[in-house]
Structure 1
Amino acid sequence: MNVHSPARSTVEDDIALFRRVRAAMPELAKGLSVEDLAAQSMPDCSPGKWHLAHTSWFFEAMILSREPDYRPVDPRWQTLFNSYYEALGERVERPERGLMTRPSLDEVTAYRREIDRRMIRWLGQGEMDARSRYLFTLGLNHDQQHQELFLMDMLHLMSRSPLEPAAYDREPRSGPVEPARGGETVFAGGLVEIGHDAAGFAFDNEGPRHKVWLEPYALADDLVSNGDWMRFMADGGYTRPELWLSDGWATVKTEGWTAPLYWSRDGESWRVMTLAGPRAVDADAPVRHVSLYEADAYARWAGKRLPTEAEWEHAARTRPDVLSNLFGEVWQWTASAYAPYPGFAPTEGTASEYNGKFMANQVVLRGGAFATSEGHARATYRNFYYPHQRWAFTGLRLAWDQPSESARVTDDESAGFRDDLIAGLSRSPKRTSPKWFYDAAGSDLFEAITRLPEYYPTRQEAALLRAVAPDWAARFGPGATMVEFGSGASEKTRIVLDAAPDLAGYVPIDI
């Protein structure tokens, strides 16, 4: 569901939207045991119970607590469910969240219901200023982020059990995987703009919009597949240090990586742990759960590279139709460090800690995963993880440099040509603007057409010019400059130039 707040929304719209977003995580928790929701499988993960509580705490801490004389549901829980907001006081560090057996799941569920009740009452007042509106929409997007984190953490937890339990009967996803299309798309690059343009909601790290210079480049139309990855592995991908960054190779040796996370041998085949339990690896499906180190090594093995985030966004804005699984399958690693854009300013107040303080030693991912809530991702969205992390739903799309002399115009100008052509051919009578014919090849073709016996206009125009050129030359006078609009190849103009040797200059102008 799309949580971008409209320019004008009614109280009823806000309440309905709040209820829809808040219903999603309890639905994901339905069917899981109390034990499933209380356990923590590694320091980077959090228990499901904690996600249920923290997303409620966020609305209480960021919105409800700003009300005069507000009384928290339980002041002690401000410490338990604070994630990383130093301005709000002490907190339980993430590696120890699984040690919190109290409050119970029932108490957390009751806390969530109470926060929802208070938020609906607050929304019913219908008195949101611009800042409150932003924080409300931020809270909805924050909730959706944790819905995906809930699934990431639950998958990791299930993978740690020798029983290999399935968290769900089928994988929760917002839409089907798109089939591979094959091929590549070339982008001319140039001076482009990236970043959010302030229309609708965005996290503060998505702006401000700014200009970036891109050299010509190409992107693979498809994500790297499991089959592609198996060929990398078969060629010794995890045993060849020349393919790896230094820190990546050290991680491979320390962690003993030989395949993506959750893969294991099943005789001569591979299988993978999923949210629906163990499955045979589908060679055609996009590869998941690879780190930046692995993605970079694969790209080097393939003779390609990872795209920069500017290249990815420019492609997503100008040619989203040609790139399969741009959103909705895996977050795609880029070659860009997670850093502030020029002119970046964090959100004012406590929410200033949401993104900006993490802008060091992490790498940007673009796109969106199958577990990303519908409508949550967008072309400007900047996800980020450390280069060694791979429990997120991450994959990759390859890029490579394109020599300038062979770069095809496939972005803005191509989109304009496509739109004009569709509009013209949809009319009756059909028409096409001649401006699209006159590139270098089109001009040469037209000049060849003018020399055909069947094309009389050029011969007739030349005959007329020979007749009038002497009279024109007499009227020019000495020192005149002749400016010709629509000069083309200027072949007929030579007739006039030969008749007027006293001209000071000639300026041909054409598209």
Structure 2
Amino acid sequence: MRERIAADLARARERSRLLTDAVDDHDLVRQHSKLMSPLVWDLAHVGNQEELWLVRDVGGREPVRADIDELYDAFKHARADRPQLPLLGPAEARRYVGEVRTKVLDVLDRVPLEGRRLVENGFAFGMVVQHEQQHDETMLATHQLRVGAPVLDAPPPPPGGPVGPDEVLVPGGPFTMGTSTEAWALDNERPAHQAVTDPFFIDTTPVTNGAYLEFVADGGYDDPRWWSEAGWAHVRKAGLVAPRFWERQGDRWYRTAFGVTAPLDPRQPVVHVCFHEAAAYAKWAGKRLPTEVEWEKAARFDPATGRSRRYPWGDEEPTERHANLGQRHLSPAPVGAYPAGASPLGVHQLIGDVWEWTSSDFHGYTGFEVFPYAEYSQVFFGPEYKVLRGGSFGSDQAAVRATFRNWDYPIRRQIFAGFRCARDAKREELT
């Protein structure tokens, strides 16, 4: 377990280093969008959280930099205000996170991984790994918003392939949702409980650029029939005409990703759409967004055994065969690129590629218990946030599983979010 934790900590830090070393100090300290922090804030913040939980709490050591705690408390300062704070400069931030990591590895060598819930099965270390990887994905989103010459590079994703029918039937009935056994699962994934669905159909793949382009071409952004009241108001106010980072040049559409503009790939999942856009497309297509319960059932339920899997393909950890994760590529993969990652029902790319909007508000499950702090999940419960599932190409395997829950405001488009559609099953389709 200690070896796994050390490897996960190292992988997260290598990614943080890549994302911050890719740009000069000027880019590190500037704010590329009011929605995002300066990259140097994220870097020092992950170090500060690591210090708070692993050096001070788990290790019982003296603080490294108690004087900066308030600067890097995400609830004390809005993102838009962080550039005006007396933040650690790039060199100082790098020294700080390096010093913290040295102490953390010493704690890891010495502390018993039992006897206290926070350290049982290495939970606190796993929480810190996931936290850094989540901020790495946030920093990747900041890179997408950055203006300038490309600084990130990665090989293209594998080609797509056949995926079978457009949609599959998910049987009605109960299944086990959530988890009480996943060692590093966060509080909002717990506890395991029985959930019940009616039979429903769900799309075999996420909605692609090509399919979404049909909605755009049909005047979807100009027709209030497809939008909720809140969605239509947002479209008008924000002047939305297409997914973010799309641009029309003549009769062709292009998408800009990390500073590179290229023709739209019609087989890649659409990305950088908000909840309102996803819901409008679904209505236009004669469908709807899946609920969070439906999404998890499609991702985990094995009708042959009646049990819920850790991942759509089974219980083993993700590999490059299963899913597009970990920033190995800088875009979603074309549909059908990961046949080994399909669910027993034949649903593809539920993990990785794009976060998928659901129709559900973010709430705790019955029996929810705050652990280890309310600011991770509980303070966000309510109708203001919509749940996203599945992870993106920018999510790491340590921070994604079929029970993992993400959430955001329904107007957000800077995140790597797409969607797939669902619909109710008609009686005649069940005979």
Q: Is TM-score (shorter-chain normalized) higher than 0.5?
A: yes
CA contact (8 A) 1:186 1:219 kept: yes
1:126 corresponds in structure 2 to 111
Tell me the residue number matched to 2:332: none
Root-mean-square deviation over aligned CA pairs:
2.0
1:106 equivalent to 2:91? Answer yes
For 2:225 and 2:158, how far apart are their aligned partners in 1?
37
Q: What SS class does the counterpart of residue 221 from structure 2 fall into? A: coil
* Identity rate, percent: 33
CA distance in 1, matches of 2:106, 2:279: 50
Asked whether 1:367 is paired with 2:351, we answer no
| Contact 1:170–1:275 (8 Å) recurs in 2 | no
Look up the match of 2:251: 268
Q: How does 1:300-449 map to 2 (within 5 A)?
A: 300-318=283-301, 320=312, 321=342, 322-348=346-372, 351-360=373-382, 361-407=384-430
SS in 1 for 2:181: coil
The 2-side partners of 1:95 and 1:53 are apart by 17
Whole-Å separation in 2 of the counterparts to 1:108 and 1:251: 38
Residue-pair matches, total: 384
From the superposition, tell whether residues 180 and 246 of structure 1 become closer, same or farther in structure 2 (CA, over 3 Å): farther
Q: Deviations over 1:461-506 (max 9, x none)?
A: xxxxxxxxxxxxxxxxxxxxxxxxxxxxxxxxxxxxxxxxxxxxxx
Partner of 1:38: 29
CA distance in 2, matches of 1:67, 1:218: 46
Q: CA deviation at 1:371?
A: 0.8
Residue 56 of structure 1 contacts residue 112 of structure 1 at CA under 8 Å; is this kept in 2? yes
Residue pair 2:59, 2:107 contacting (<8 A) in 1 also? no
Task: For 2:43 and 2:181, locate their aligned partners in 1 and report how far apart those are by CA, in whole Å.
Answer: 30
Alpha carbons of 1:32 and 1:257: their partners in 2 closer, same or farther (altered >3 Å)?
same
Amino acid at match of 1:228: A
Give me the whole-angstrom Cα distance separating, in 1, the residues matched to 2:203 and 2:181: 30
* Alignment check: 8 A CA contact 1:177 1:329 kept: no
Q: Which has the higher contact order (CA 8 A, sep 6+)?
A: 2
Residues 20 and 170 (structure 1), Cα distance of their counterparts in 2 relative to 1, 3 Å cut: closer
| TM-score normalised by structure 1 residue count | 0.71
Q: Please tell me whether residue 281 in structure 1 is matched to residue 257 in structure 2.
A: no
Offset at 1:47? 1.4
Q: Distance in 1 between matches of 2:219 and 2:20?
A: 40
Closer, same or farther in 2 for the Cα pair 1:179/1:49, shift >3 Å? farther
For residues 257 and 150 of structure 2, the distance between their equivalents in structure 1, rounded to whole angstroms, comes to 8
Q: Report whether the alignment pairs 1:79 with 2:66.
A: no
Alpha-carbon offset, residue 309 of structure 1:
0.9
User: Cα deviation per residue 1:253-280 (whole Å; 9 max; x = unaligned)?
Assistant: 1110000011112222111110252222
CA distance in 2 between counterparts of 1:29 and 1:244 reads 39
Q: Distance in 2 between matches of 1:371 and 1:69?
A: 33
Amino acid at match of 1:145: Q
Partner residue in 1 for 2:139: 150
User: 2:152 is matched with which residue: 168, 190, 203?
Assistant: 168
Structure 2 contact 5–126 (Cα < 8 Å) conserved = no
From 172, 177, 181, the equivalent of 1:189 is: 172
Q: CA deviation at 1:168?
A: 1.3
TM-score by length of 2: 0.84
Could you tell me how far apart the structure 2 residues matched to 1:332 and 1:303 are? 18
State how far apart, in whole Å, the 1-side matches of 2:5 and 2:176 are: 32
Partner in structure 2 of residue 116 of structure 1: 101
How far apart, CA to CA, are the structure 1 residues paired with 2:296 and 2:378? 20
Q: What do residues 82-130 of structure 1 show as CA deviations (whole Å, max 9, x unaligned)?
A: 112xxxxxx3332111234642100000001001011011112132333
Distance 1:31-1:259 versus aligned 2 partners, 3 A rule: same
Equivalent residues of 1:233, 1:259 under 8 A apart: yes
Task: Indicate the larger mover: 290-299 or 61-70.
Answer: 61-70
| 3-state SS in 2 of match to 1:378 | coil
Q: Distance in 2 between matches of 1:68 and 1:47?
A: 30
Is 1:21 aligned to 2:12, yes or no?
Answer: yes
CA distance in 1, matches of 2:57, 2:26: 35
The SS at the match of 2:6 is helix
Distance 1:149 1:71 in 2: 30
Q: Is the 8 A contact 2:49 2:128 kept in 1?
A: yes
Paired letter, 1:47 = P
SS in structure 1 of the partner of residue 271 of structure 2: coil
Q: Which runs of 5+ in 2 are unaligned?
A: 303-311, 313-341
Structure 2 SS opposite 1:238: helix
C-alpha distance after superposition, 1:339-375 (max 9, x if no partner): 1111111104xx2321111012101111110111134
Deviation at 1:70, TM superposition (A): 3.9
Counterparts of 1:299 and 1:69, CA distance in 2: 52
Q: Measured at CA, do residues 370 and 234 of structure 1 come closer, stay the same or move farther in structure 2, by a change above 3 Å?
A: same
Structure 1 pair 203/266, CA: closer, same or farther in 2 (3 Å)? same
Range 101-110 or range 318-327, more displaced: 318-327
Higher helix share: 1
Deviation at 1:131, TM superposition (A): 1.3
